[in-house]
Amino acid sequence: MEKEDFFNEDVLADRIHNRTVIRRLLSYVLRYKASGLLSIFMVLITTVLFLLCPYLFGYAIDHGISKGDKPLIYKIALALLGIQSLRLLLVVVQSYNIQAIGQKVMLDMRMELFNHIQSLPLSFFDKNPVGRIVTRLTNDIAAIGELFSAGVIVVIGDVFIIVGIFVAMFMLNLKLALITLSVVPIIVVIALWFGNRMKNSFREIRRKLARINAYLNENITGMKIIQLFNREKKNYDQFDEINDDYLKEQVKYIRYFAVFQPAINMVSALAIGLVLWFGAVRYMHGFLTLGVLVAFLAYIHDLFDPIRDIVEKYNIFQGAMASSERIFGLMKESPEVDYIIPNPDKEVPKTNFKGTIKFENVWFAYNGGDYVLKDISFDIEAGQSVALVGVTGSGKTSIASILTRLYEIQKGTIWLDDVDIRKIEKIGLRYVVGLVSQEVFLFAGTLRDNITLFNPISDSKILGIIDELGLLPFIDHIPGGLDMEIVERGANLSAGERQFISLSRIILYDPRVIILDEATSSIDPISEILIQNAIQKVSLGRTSIFIAHRLSTILHCDKLIVLNKGVKIEEGSHEELLRLGGLYSKLYKVYMKEELIGHA
């Protein structure tokens, strides 16, 4: 499956039930081999018990009722009661066991897929929509769970019943069995005709449901823009069109299903009529007993229920196979590579790093050969503060991304102290290099949870760090303090409060190198002063890299590196670059002019 086609549309392939997918699915079931074999054994027993009942009806008529043998009738009645009671008990246990297998398989697959998704590189999430990934973890795995809990074992039971009924028929009377068998081709034709159309309709339903989910996800996420630009009516009309398209396909599927059931019932009636006619003639001529005829009619009546069930379960099978292909296709995606260059010493303890950084002829592109960083070289000494300066799109944030190995460089080398960062385990590297992003992501939970990232850290330590950074005013203004509940994406916090959480979070993490990407953007002047003071305290004793548009936030830095279109064009202190009269000097003059206008 091609990567670029993987998330385009949930269109099911024509040959979805390939051996690889089925083998992979069976590997999950085989983890619960004992439960699976128990279910099959119970299906076999319940099938035998099910087949005994019509035979006993016929036997009771021929040997009990016709001969007036009351004790035999009582015995058969008690036997039937015992058989049905035992069968009911086995069905209950079997249903519980099957459902348990399905739920366990879903749990295993969901955990394995979630673990794999966490291992994927950030570039994967840049290219693939979140809504579809979530669908893999929810809807697709649920479809597979339905296959195991309500599909496979049940269909095996249906096959046992059909085979058992025909065996019983041939044992009772060969000619009546052949007459019953004569209607099977009609059933096959009906099942294939309706099955193919229901399958195609089912595919379209799944595809159009995916469109609805994708549209809803996009609209709910972008509700602010929709309301600001008065898009409600237009979006409503567009959703109405998508929803109506889905409704038409559902109605089409229901129409097929509604005709299929009566068609099978007609064939069932035809079979019963033929057997009743031929059996009655044979009975009247003394070639057949009444009990055998009654048993035969009971078997025919029971024959068509499992046939209907198999055709209905075919759609569950189709959906589960398609879901399996999508899930296993996602699992094939290459995980984030840890050691690009093998390191015999493996991870270097983070306490061993001083924080010296060296970029040596680094080239980097997000896509193909479209390089956003071109032959970048510079040195940062341990404990030094450096600012990356440049207009939007010059490559500043990209440097932060490759230094933390969220993305991998194509050419050159990045050294941390004297170690190529591609030799450092990513977990270890990210303990050493910390990033405070412009967009602070907040989780559902308390303020405490978001600062500690759910690690068990005492309140006294948290408040001590906040006080040390001079950020207690933020806590004082937050109702509930550390116990305040944060809503989705931190909508109940200001930009300054979100940055306060981000800074507190990074100090608890205690990296040797800290990158601050636009840390004071979009916040009010008072909060900016508090955050700026905290940043200065955070950067003390650490190697610090600042990325900022506001030049006031980087004037205190030891060195400035100026980028333009992915190329380093200037490097030096604030005073040196002003004297140079290059791009930085022009940017600074523009900044000073804006400041004068702002204070006028």
What does the pLDDT read at residue 466? 85
* Res. 9 pLDDT band, cuts 50 70 90: very low
DSSP H or E run through 376: strand 371-380
What does the pLDDT read at residue 505? 85
What DSSP line would sit under 273-294, residue for residue?
HHHHHHHHHHHHTTSS-HHHHH
Query: Is residue 342 domain-resident?
Result: no
Shared domain check, 248 and 360: no
Shared domain check, 121 and 263: yes
Can you tell me the mean pLDDT for 274-280? 87
Q: Among 303, 331, 359, where does a domain finish?
A: 331
Residues 594-599: contacts with CB under 8 Å, at least 24 apart? 595/552
Query: Is residue 214 domain-resident?
Result: yes
DSSP-derived 3-state class of residue 377: strand
Least confident of 252-256, 272-276, 593-597: 593-597
**Using one digit for the tens of pLDDT, what is the confidence trace for 34-60?**
888 888 888 889 888 988 888 888 888
Q: Is the pLDDT of residue 14 over 70?
A: no
Please name which of 492, 493, 504 lies closest in space to residue 531, comparing C-alpha atoms.
504
What does the pLDDT read at residue 351? 59
Shared domain check, 320 and 399: no
Angle at 70 (CA atoms; ends 65, 76), nearest 5 degrees: 75
* Res. 342 pLDDT band, cuts 50 70 90: low
Percentage of residues in the chain having pLDDT higher than 70: 91
Can you tell me the mean pLDDT for 291-319? 81
Residues sharing a CB contact under 8 Å with residue 186, sequence separation 6 or more, in sequence order = 267, 270
Q: Among 267, 299, 331, where does a domain finish?
A: 331
Query: Is residue 340 domain-resident?
Result: no
Least confident of 75-79, 323-327, 381-385: 323-327
What does the pLDDT read at residue 201? 79
Query: Is residue 221 domain-resident?
Result: yes
Q: 22-39 burial by CB neighbour count: b if 16+ within 10 A, else e?
A: eebbeebbeebeeebebb
Query: Is residue 11 domain-resident?
Result: no
Residues sharing a CB contact under 8 Å with residue 132, sequence separation 6 or more, in sequence order = 7, 10, 210, 214
What does the pLDDT read at residue 380? 94
What does the pLDDT read at residue 325? 80
CATH code of 247's domain: 1.20.1560.10
What does the pLDDT read at residue 286? 82
Straight-line distance from the first to the last Cα atom of the chain, in angstroms, rounded to the nearest whole number: 62
Cα(355)–Cα(358) distance, rounded to whole angstroms?
10
Q: Is the pLDDT of residue 138 over 70?
A: yes
Query: Is residue 44 domain-resident?
Result: yes
Q: Is the pLDDT of residue 10 over 70?
A: no
pTM: 0.74
What does the pLDDT read at residue 8? 45
**Using one digit for the tens of pLDDT, what is the confidence trace for 567-586?**
999 999 988 999 998 998 88
Shared domain check, 85 and 43: yes
Q: Scanning the structure block, which residue is given the tokens 């086995």?
A: 90
What does the pLDDT read at residue 402? 93
Q: Is the pLDDT of residue 121 over 70?
A: yes
Shared domain check, 299 and 393: no
Query: Is residue 341 domain-resident?
Result: no
Shared domain check, 391 and 299: no
Shared domain check, 186 and 45: yes
Check residues 89 and 205 and name the one with the higher pLDDT: 89
* Res. 112 pLDDT band, cuts 50 70 90: very high
What does the pLDDT read at residue 3? 41
Shared domain check, 264 and 179: yes
Shared domain check, 577 and 441: yes
The mean of the pLDDT values for the chain is: 83
Shared domain check, 212 and 357: no
Q: Is the pLDDT of residue 148 over 50?
A: yes
Least confident of 71-75, 446-450, 477-481, 540-544: 477-481
Residue numbers of the domain that contains 279: 18-331
Can you tell me the mean pLDDT for 234-253? 90
Can you tell me the mean pLDDT for 467-477? 82
Q: Which amino acid is at 291?
A: G
Shared domain check, 209 and 170: yes
**Using one digit for the tens of pLDDT, what is the confidence trace for 496-506?**
788 888 888 88
* Res. 320 pLDDT band, cuts 50 70 90: confident
Q: Is the pLDDT of residue 21 over 90?
A: no
CATH code of 566's domain: 3.40.50.300
What does the pLDDT read at residue 347? 52
Shared domain check, 79 and 198: yes
Q: Is the pLDDT of residue 311 over 80?
A: no
Query: Is residue 13 domain-resident?
Result: no
Can you tell me the mean pLDDT for 89-101? 87
Q: Is the pLDDT of residue 178 over 60?
A: yes
β-strand pairing of 543-547 with 385-389: parallel
Can you tell me the mean pLDDT for 536-550? 83
What does the pLDDT read at residue 114? 93
Residues sharing a CB contact under 8 Å with residue 311, sequence separation 6 or more, in sequence order = 191, 194, 195, 198, 260
What does the pLDDT read at residue 350? 56
Q: Among 331, 364, 386, where does a domain finish?
A: 331
Please name which of 376, 341, 373, 374 lies closest in space to residue 360, comparing C-alpha atoms.
376
Q: Is the pLDDT of residue 596 over 60?
A: no
Mark residue 490 as left, alpha or beta (left: phi above 0; alpha: psi -120 to 50; beta: remaining). left
Q: Is the pLDDT of residue 298 over 90?
A: no
Can you tell me the mean pLDDT for 263-292? 86
Q: Is the pLDDT of residue 4 over 50?
A: no
Q: How many domains does the chain have?
A: 2
